[in-house]
Amino acid sequence: MSSIRLLSSGQGIPWEMLIDIVGADRGCLPRVTLRDRIAVILIDDLPSPAASILKQCMLSGGADALVHREVLTCRTDKSGAVVYGTPAMLYRGCDSLKDQPFGLDSMAMQIRKLIEGSALPASVEVNKSKLTYSSAPLIMGILNITPDSFSDGGSYSSPDAAASQAVVMEKSGAHIIDIGGESTRPGAGSVSAREQRSRVLPVIEAIRRRTEVPISIDTCIPEVAEAAVNAGAGMINSINAMETPGMIELAASLGLPVVLMHMKGIPGTMQNEPFYGDASQEIAHYLLYRVEALVKAGLPREKILVDPGIGFGKRQEDNIALIHALEWIGIHTGCRVLLGHSRKSFLKGITGIDQADHRDSVSHIVTVMAEGADVVRVHDVPGTVAALKLSELLRRTL
């Protein structure tokens, strides 16, 4: 069975913005967006004749396919293929694959699905606030109610202090506030449900007395999630992709948006020599498996976000590969993607910046360059907003 993987759909041209600048008819948007980028798709394990047919059909549409050098000489039984072209070219090539043998007509349908990307939800509703996805990611501000988080542990000693910080983040541009009562830094121990509740519930209640900002509860424990929702949270962020018994059933019964994150192992041991053959593919397949489990339980896919778990049981090269693969992960799972890279230690490995809260500047670079991130989970909300504004301005003037 061949696997089909989108490697890149390119950065694309901001057609919507350009249409508004020149005053053109927005009705042309579907047409022009088919001309804005080169999509690159990797297909493996094709019979050699199928690879030859695939290449010819893609050429007929104006696209192309790289195949094994010995396909035409019949000296190889199998070949991979790298299919590339603009979406319009690939669509025409897929039309030529109709009724072709070796399952190529079915493969054409998968290629279309990869390059369309239209199945992704346009918005998510958290605490009755409709948050619309756009070219700039939504911002989730981090509010850790813990004494030992790697960056800001012990910063908010009272519910009122934490609520004040939440208000500051909201006014600075945060769309969601993510509240956690358990540190998940490498080497961290677990915190009981009782202790987590004692930390987060007073904070959520204090925030709710001051603002209606959407709140996400960061926990793996069903009892904590349910209590937080009753106190005013409207989203559940699960770092173990709801592997905890009872978590999927709770999420489905509440019907609220959730974030499913990949983590190899547990925080206490996750960085003990993690290894992947292909991190992006393995993690994307795992996330799809967890998404399907939640959909089967009754939660609509459009309410599910996925997070590849930067720094959670990953080597530096894995983190970089995952950031490059965000767009593909979204298409593969059919879900919007959350990126949690802020102040992570992999940035220290690249830049040498030892102190976590000094890594905001490099975190912002990742934020503006990470294509396919629909939500970014960050510590420095004002800096993130400024970086995104500058990035948008520079793109407008190029």
Per residue of the chain (398 residues), give pLDDT as tens.
677 777 766 655 667 777 777 778 877 776 666 665 688 888 988 999 999 999 999 999 999 999 999 998 888 999 989 999 988 899 999 999 999 999 999 999 888 877 775 568 889 999 999 999 988 999 999 998 877 454 554 556 689 999 999 999 999 999 999 999 887 766 666 789 999 999 999 999 999 999 999 999 999 999 999 999 999 999 999 999 999 999 999 999 999 999 999 998 777 666 767 788 889 989 999 999 999 999 999 999 999 999 999 999 899 999 999 999 998 899 889 899 999 999 999 999 999 999 999 999 999 999 999 988 999 999 999 999 999 999 988 877 65
Cα distance between residue 147 and residue 3, in whole Å: 45
End-to-end CA distance of the chain: 44
Query: 123-397 has which fold?
Result: TIM Barrel (3.20.20)
The yes-or-no answer on residue 344 being catalytic is yes
Residue 301 exposed, middle or buried by CB count within 10 Å (0-12, 13-18, 19+): middle
Write the CB contacts of 10 (distance below 8 Å, at least 6 apart in sequence). 36, 37, 38, 39
| Given the residues 264, 343, 359, 377, the one annotated as active site | 377
The yes-or-no answer on residue 389 being catalytic is no
Query: 4-116 has which fold?
Result: Gyrase A; domain 2 (3.30.1360)
At 75, give phi and psi (nearest 5°): -90, 5
Residue span(s) of the chain under CATH 3.30.1360 come to 4-116
| Given the residues 344, 348, 395, 396, the one annotated as active site | 344
0.85 exceeded by pTM = no
Cα distance between residue 121 and residue 101, in whole Å: 34
